[in-house]
Structure 1
Amino acid sequence: MPSQKKQVWFITGCSSGFGEQFVRQLRAQGDEVVATGRNAETRLAHLKETGATILDLDVTAPQAELDAKFQQAIDIHGTVDVLVNNAGYIQCGAVEELTQEDMQRSLDTNFHGPINLTRAALPHFRSKGENGQGAGLIIYMGSQSGFWGEPAGAAYCASKFALEGAVESLSKELGFLAPGIKPLIIEAGMFTTEVMVKLNHVPHRVEFWRPLNEACRVRGAGNYRNEPGNAVELVSKVIQIAKGVGVAEGKKEIPLRIPFGSDCVGFLKQKIAQMQGVLDEWEDVARSTDFEGHKGPMPELPPQT
C-alpha cells in the first residue's frame, strides 16, 4: 500500500550529491530528515535552512558510536522509518599499485559503514510493525560497480560487490523472520554529482601502470558534467519507490535491486549476456562434477513455525 504518512529518514553522506538531494526533496515534502556527515558543522551548514536535523557522523566510527548516533535520532524524532546508506568515495588505482591499506579504507567506508549502520538500525526496525514482522526500509546507494568491474576500480568495485552480497544475504534473513523490513540496493550509473572531481588516485607506484592511471584521470575529468544521469530525477524516483507512489504505483513489491541510468542498464545487459554465454558453453562441464545420482540442490531453510 502507498505510504502517504510523513516519514523520518536517517541519511549518511549529505554534504553534496545524492545525499543533499534526499535532504532537500524530503524536507520540501514535509518529511523529517536526520542529515549526517563528517565535520557536519561546516560541511552540512548549507542544509540548516531546510530544517533538517544535522548530526556529525563518520560512518567508519566504531559500532558503539554508530549505535549511539542512531539512537540519538530516535530520541529526537521518536522513530526512524528509512535509513539511506549513501556515504562513500572512489579510490582509483591498478590492483598491483593499491596497498592493503588503500583497499581497507575503501571497504571501511563503502562496505563496513553501511553494514554497521544496518546493525544499528535493525533492533529499532524489528520492534516496529505488526505480528512481530518488523517495519522499515534500508536503502543502499550502490553502483553499477557492484556487478561490473572497471580497470583501476578494484578497491571501489570490491567494496560494492561485497555490499551487494551481504545485503542479498540480509534480505533472505529478513524474509525468513522479519519480512516487514525491506532492503533496497540502488544500482546507479554515472549521475550529476561531484563524485568525478573527488576521485582518489593512488600515486604512481609501479611505472608499468602509468598509462592506465593517466587514462583514468582523463576519463574521470571527461565524465564530469557529462554524466548521462540526472541526480535530481534519481532521488525523486527513489523517494517515490520508498513511499509506494509515482513510479511505484501498482507495483506488487520492491525488488532487492533496481538499476538507474541508461549506462547502468547497458552494463547490466552485457553482464547478463556474458554470464548466459558462459552457462550455455560450460553448463555440461559444471554438471559433470556432481556425484552420480545426487538428488539435486540443497534444501531451503525450513518454514518458520
Structure 2
Amino acid sequence: MAPLVWLITGCSSGFGAQFVHSALARGDKVIATGRNAATKLKHFDGTGAAIVDLDVSLPEADVKKIVDEAAKIYGRIDVLVNNAGYGINEDYRNLFNVNVFGALSVTRAVLPYMRAQQSGTIAFVGSMYAWWAPAMVSVYGAAKGALRAIVDALAAEVAPFNIRTVDFEPGYFQTPLTDLAKLAQYTSTAQSLDAYAGHRAGMAVLAKALDGNERGDVQKGVELMVDVIRGEGRASGRKVPLRLPIGDDAVRVIEGTCHNMLKVIDVWRSDVVGTTDREEFKGEEGFEAVVTVPDV
C-alpha cells in the first residue's frame, strides 16, 4: 500500500497525538493540526509530521483556507480524522461549535480533494455517550449523537466517490479530554440549583471512582482504529462499518441501549403498528422508496 496522507485535528494530546504517532509508525504521512500549534504541537518536532495551526471553531471560510494550504503540503489528503473536541463544558454552545460544527467545517473543506481523487476515508471520534448519556452529560452526549446521525447521510452522499465514513465510539480512555477529575470540577462550578444537588453529588462520586481508572488504553484504542482505517491487522478483510464501538465498556453500553429499544418496540408493537396510518394509505412502497436502513 502506498503511504496515506492523514489530516488529524486536535493533536495536542490524547487520541489525536496517538493518531499522529501510530500513522507515522505505519509509514504514512501526517498533517497534525491543533490550536496554538507552535506551542501545543511542539512535541511533534522531529517526528516527520507536518504541523498546521487550525482552530476548528473558526468561521468555515477560514477553516477552508487553512485546509487548502495544508493540502498543498503533500498534494492530497487520504484520511481525515475529526478528533478535535471538548469534553464536559459549561459553554454548551462552544461545545457544539467545536465538536459538531467544527467537524463539519473541516469535512466540507477536505471533501473536494477526496472527490477529485475518487478515494478517501473520513473518520469521526465519537463516544458511547451518543447512545446513552448519564445525568449532567446531556449536551456532550447530544453533540456526539449529532455526529452519529451525520455519518448515516454522509456515507450515502460520498459513497459514489469511493469515500468511506466511520464513526468510532470509544468508552472510557485515559485522555485529557475525558479526564474524569474535570467532572468534579464541573460540578463545583456549575450553577448550584438545589433541585439538582443529587445529580451533582452523583457525578462527584463517579469522578472520584473512575479518575485514573478508566478502562481504555489510548495506544491500543488508536491502533485498533488505524487498523480499521488502513484495513490491516484485526480489520483485514472486513467491511468498514458506519460506526464501531471502541472498548468493552462502549460495547456493553451500546448493546444494552439497543436491547432496551428492542424491548420497547416489542412491548408496544401491537398498539403502535398501523394505528397512526392515514386511512387512504395503500402500502409501504412510499416508505421503502424514501427510507433505507444502512447495511452494516
Per the normalisation by structure 1, the TM-score is 0.88
Is the 1:21–1:232 Cα contact (8 Å) retained in structure 2? yes
The amino acid that maps onto 1:156 is Y
Is the 1:204–1:210 Cα contact (8 Å) retained in structure 2? no
Aligned to 2:221: 234
Q: Percent identity?
A: 36
1:162-205 alpha-carbon deviations (Å, 9 max, x no partner):
11111211112223x33x11110001000122221455725233
Unaligned segments of structure 1, at least 5 residues? 93-97, 129-133
Superposition misfits of 4+ residues, deviation over 3 angstroms? 197-200
Aligned to 1:182: 164
Which of 90, 95, 99 is 1:106 aligned to?
95
Highest RCO, 1 vs 2 (Cα 8 Å, sep ≥ 6)? 1
Question: What is the deviation of 1:208?
Answer: 2.1
Match runs of 1:34-113 below 5 Å: 34-91=31-88, 102-113=91-102
Matched residue of 1:193: which SS? coil
Aligned to 1:282: 268
The amino acid that maps onto 1:189 is G
- Distance, in Å, in 2 between the alignment partners of 1:138 and 1:11 is 10
Question: What is the deviation of 1:17?
Answer: 0.5
1:49 and 1:187, CA in 2 relative to 1: closer, same or farther beyond 3 A? same
Question: What is the deviation of 1:64?
Answer: 1.1
Question: What is the deviation of 1:9?
Answer: 0.4
The amino acid that maps onto 1:186 is F
Is the 2:227–2:233 Cα contact (8 Å) retained in structure 1? yes
Aligned to 1:139: 123
Matched residue of 1:50: which SS? coil
Unaligned segments of structure 2, at least 5 residues? 292-296
The answer as to 2:24 corresponding to 1:21 is: no
Question: What is the deviation of 1:116?
Answer: 1.2
Aligned to 1:267: 253
The amino acid that maps onto 1:108 is N
The answer as to 2:208 corresponding to 1:211 is: no
Matched residue of 1:258: which SS? strand
- Distance, in Å, in 2 between the alignment partners of 1:227 and 1:69 is 35
Is the 2:88–2:182 Cα contact (8 Å) retained in structure 1? no
Tell me how many residue pairs correspond in the alignment.
283
User: RMSD of the TM alignment (CA)?
Assistant: 1.8
Matched residue of 2:45: which SS? helix
Aligned to 1:247: 234
Question: What is the deviation of 1:224?
Answer: 2.3
Aligned to 1:148: 132
- Distance, in Å, in 2 between the alignment partners of 1:166 and 1:258 is 15
Relative to structure 2, which stretch is displaced further, 201-210 or 49-58? 201-210
Aligned to 2:105: 116
- Distance, in Å, in 1 between the alignment partners of 2:23 and 2:182 is 25
Aligned to 1:294: 282
Aligned to 1:192: 174
